[in-house]
Each structure stands twice: as structure tokens, then as C-alpha cells.
Amino acid sequence: MTDPYRVLNINSNATDEEVKQAYRKLAKRYHPDNYINNELADLAAEKMKEINAAYDEINRLRSEGVPGGGFSGGAGFSGGESGSDVYSRIRILLNSRRINEAEVLLQRISVAERNAEWHFLNGLVLYNKGWLQDARVEVETACRLDPYNAEYRAFLDRFSTGSAHSPYGRTYSGNGCSGCDVCSSLICADCCCECMGGDLIRCC
Amino acid sequence: MFGYIRPVQSELLVREHELYRAVYCGLCRYGGKHISHFTRFLLNYDFVALALLRMSVVQEEAKISLKRCPYHFKKRRTLCADGSYELTSAAFAFLLYYKALDDINDSKGIKKFFKRLALPFFSHIKNRVKGYEVLESVIEKQINKLAELEKTDTPDEQFSLDRVADCFAVIVESIASYGLKDKEKVIASQCGYHIGRYIYIIDALDDIKKDSESGNYNPLLIKYGDISGVIDNIEEIKTTITDSLNAFSSVYGLNVIGEERDKSYDNIIFNICELGGRAALNKVLGSLNLGGTND
């Protein structure tokens, strides 16, 4: 096998961060999606395979402690665990409204390790500071990265709602779908079905 | 300067409307008596809203009395709430002075000369305020910080509207929460922050045509490149402005939970954030021909 560092076009003493960046850059360039209906598709797929193999190889070598890397690759794995630890600490800080400390902790996490939770918590910090545009961007990113997380969704909804105590109610004209909308749509659908001789909801 | 944060009067109950006018009248009268008669012509709705917010958060005892207005010659119902008025007038005087100073630094040539001539008048107003040194230092610091940001910021994808808006928002925050403690402080400061952010961004949106012609600093022009960039992203701007109003409303909602209280103040403030703020936004959009209506 050829030298994996040469495949990624980097020095053998590059840091983990640089390795990751080089990998991402190449993967982006040779991604099969860029070559749909293109005669180069096969070539790109082959190249992609090579890049993946080289990246895996470097990670494997570094996790075994083979010299040539700045940090050990193992940190990446344990980083996942200590990461969630940090996140729960940040949540506790946020609950006790120690926003600045939470922000410092968040900024310490390296860019490569920032996941949906990071973006959500950063959104919370920004929301608490009142930086609502940046906060919305962060929470939307979190929702995109983890679309099934109810907590992120619920928080995103909070942006567009005012106080429940307001006598003026919700004047926000969003495209949301309330429980009422669902029921009335079902009833309408049922009526339409009945007109055509069918039935959607048996009991009415 | 501003005037974006006011209730939709047709939606107020008659007694709420009377209360609102009484607060306006009281603040105007107080400013005229203790600061300068000229402030009576410069007073705007934003400061009335701040005075209202303050009264409502600290539950200041206030009584309404009939007094004659020298400019309308009619007797008017006036609300006396000197504590809140004193703070609001002081903040008003400081803002007038530092805004004038900022204007002088921004302008050139003959205009600068004439503006400088008017400065003693503003410093006279400022000097009549006694005992708000902390507030003054916050305002001075933030205005300088804003001027600094205006100089250094260049068009950039990473440009954060919030970072620039933060300066003015912190000013309003410190006015609203001046001298308060605990729960009152949290509510007043956050409401103040959201009001400040709202005013700053909507003011930038309102001035966008003027600034793009004259080349003056405008954070929206920096963030979105030029006026067509702003128009392309108008939904984003609208969202962020209404987000501030929503956040203001939900923070203020914490103030009214679980207490037996006069609902008039609360209703006026909810009117401001739920209806009035959006009405002002629509008006600004309408003036830019961007489909806003004056509803």
C-alpha cells in the first residue's frame, strides 16, 4: 500500500486536525455525488476508496501510538465520552445562569468535535445573552444535524412565541401546524371521503 | 432619534389608553421641570415605554391628577411616579449628550463646526442630572465601543449583527435594571436588552436607503453587502426583529406570574411587544416598499 500521508497530501508529522481537514477537503472533491452522470464517476469512486483507506490507516497507526502524529488518535474516541461529560456540565452551568462560564467551556471544544449538542448549547448561551440571530442559526444547525431531537425542535419554536400570559395571544403568523389544524384537516378529509362514497373516520 | 416602541392605541382599553397618556404627560412634565424645557420637544415613545416597564416591574405607587399643560392649555390627566421618571429622564439626557458627541465625531467640515456649537446645550442638559454616575459610565463606554466597532467592521460573512446590536442593547439594559435586585433585576435587564436590540436593528432597517446613498455606517448593509442584499434577506431580518419582540414578551411574562396586580400596565406592555412592535416593523417595511402594511 502506498504511504497514506502521501495520499492525503500531507506531512507525516501533521496534527490530527490537519489530517482531518485534508481528508475532508479531498472527500468533498471526490464525493460520488459530484460525478453523477459523469464518465469520471468510476475514477472518482476509486479515488474516494483510496482516500478513505488512507484516512483509516492513519487513524489506526496513530491510535497504536506509531510516531509521526501530533496527538494520539485515541483521544478522538475518548473525546466522545469526555465531550458528553462537558456538555452535562455546561447544562448545569446554564441552569444556574452562569452563562459566561458555559460559553468559555463551549469555546474550548475543538471545531472538529462540535456536534448537534454543541450547537444547541451554544444556541442556548447566545439566546440567554440576547444574541437572537446567532442563537437561531445555532439551534437550526442543531436541528439539522439531529432532526429527531424533540428538545431542539421545542426550543426552536420558542423563538417564535411570546408569553402565554399575554392577552393578545399569538399574533405570529407562522406556518406551524397545531393540534387543532390536524383535527380539522382530518374532519375535512373525512367529509371529502364521504362525499365520494368512502369513509376515513368510521365514527363520524 | 427613535420612536419604534409604542402600543397600538386602538387595541388598548380606554382606561389603559388614559394611563399611557398620563405616563407620557408625567414624563414630559418631569423632564421639563428637572432637566430642560427642550427635552419636552425631544421626548419620544421609547422612553415612555422604558418608564412604563420600570413602573410595572418595581410596582411603583403612583397617583393620577389633573394638571394644566402649557403647550395644549388643557387640563390633562398626569401620572406622578417620580422614581421612574427620574431614572428615565437621566438616561434620556445622557443619551442625548453622547449621541450629539458621536454625531460631531462622525461629521466633517462646516457641519462639524455647527454641531459643535450646539454641544454646550447638551452638556448643560447632562450636567443637570445628579447621582447617576454608574449609568453614565456604562452609556459612555458602550457608545465608544459601538463607535470603535463601526470603524473596524468590514463586509464579512462572519459579521455578527448581534455583536453590534449588543452595545445599544446593553445601554437599554442598564437603564431598565438600574439599582434593582434579584428577580426584578433579571426581568428588567432582559426586557431592556431585547428592547434595545429591537430598536437598534429596526432603526438600521429604517435608515437603510438613506445610509446606502450617503455611505454612512449601517450594520445591515455591512452584513448583506448592499440594499438589494438586504431586500433578498428581508425575511431573515424580519424574523430576527420579531424574535426580539417574542423574547421580550416571554421574559415580561415572568413578571406577571402569580401576583394580584393591576393588569393595566401589563396589558400596555404586552400590547407593545405583541402588536406595537410588529406594527412599527410593518410600517418600516411599507416605507421600503417591501410589502408591509400599516395594520
| Cα separation, B34 vs A111, whole angstroms | 55
The reply to whether B163 touches chain A by the CB within 8 Å rule is yes
| CA–CA dist B197, A162 (Å, integer) | 16
- Total structural domains in chain B? 1
pLDDT at residue B193 in the model = 93
Of B193, B197, B246, the CB nearest to A161: B246
How far is A96 from chain B, CA to nearest CA, in Å?
A: 13
Residue B223 CA to residue A136 CA, distance in Å, equals: 16
Give pLDDT, residue B195: 92
Alpha helices in A64-109 (DSSP H): 74-95, 99-108
A contacts of B271 (beta carbons < 8 Å): 168
Could you list the beta-strand ranges (E) of B101-170: none
CA distance linking residue A160 with residue A156, whole number of Å: 8
What confidence score (pLDDT) does residue B196 get?
Answer: 92
The reply to whether B266 touches chain A by the CB within 8 Å rule is yes
B295 lies in some domain: no
pLDDT of amino acid B85: 87
Report if residue B60 sits inside a domain. Answer: yes
Interface contact B275-A126, CB threshold 8 A: no
**Greater pLDDT, A193 or A117:** A117
Is B240 within 8 Å of A163 when comparing Cβ atoms? no
Q: Which of B166, B249, B250 sits opposite A131 (nearest CB)?
A: B166
Query: Averaged over A132-147, what is the pLDDT?
Result: 89
Q: What is the CATH number of the domain that holds B41?
A: 1.10.600.10
Q: How distant is the Cα of A129 from the closest Cα of chain B, in angstroms?
A: 9
* Buried b / exposed e along A88-108 (16+ C-beta atoms within 10 A): eebeebbeeeebeebbebbee
| Within-domain flag for B153 | yes
Question: Which among B243, B249, B273 has CB closest to A132?
Answer: B243
Q: How far is B158 from chain A (nearest CA, A)?
A: 10
As a whole number of angstroms, the distance between CA B77 and CA A88 comes to 55
Check residue A40 and give its pLDDT: 63
State the pLDDT confidence band at A117, using cuts at 50, 70 and 90.
confident
- Give residues 22 to 51 of B whose Cβ lies within 8 Å of A: none
> Average pLDDT in the A63-91 region?
55
State whether B274 and A171 contact (CB < 8 Å): yes
Which is more confident, B6 or A81? B6
Out of A87-101, A190-204, B154-168, B191-205, the most confident range is: B191-205
Domain that holds residue B165: 9-287
What are the Cα distances from residue A122, in Å, to A89, A117, A158, A178? Answer: 13, 8, 16, 28
Query: Which pLDDT score, from 0 to 100, does residue A38 have?
Result: 61
Is the CB of residue A92 less than 8 Å from the CB of residue A60? no
> Could you tell me the pLDDT band of residue A39, with boundaries at 50, 70 and 90?
low
Residue B198 included in any domain: yes
What pTM, to 2 d.p., does this model score? 0.72
Is position B41 within any domain? yes
In a domain, B131, yes or no: yes
Q: Do B273 and A162 touch (CB under 8 A)?
A: yes
Whether ipTM exceeds 0.95: no
Q: Is residue B293 part of a domain?
A: no
Is B292 inside any structural domain? no
**Spans of chain B below 50 pLDDT:** 1, 294-295
Q: Look up cell 393595566; give the residue.
A: B264
The whole-number average pLDDT for the span A175-183 is: 56
Stated length of chain A: 204
Nearest-angstrom CA–CA distance, A81 and A66: 23
What confidence score (pLDDT) does residue A36 get? 64
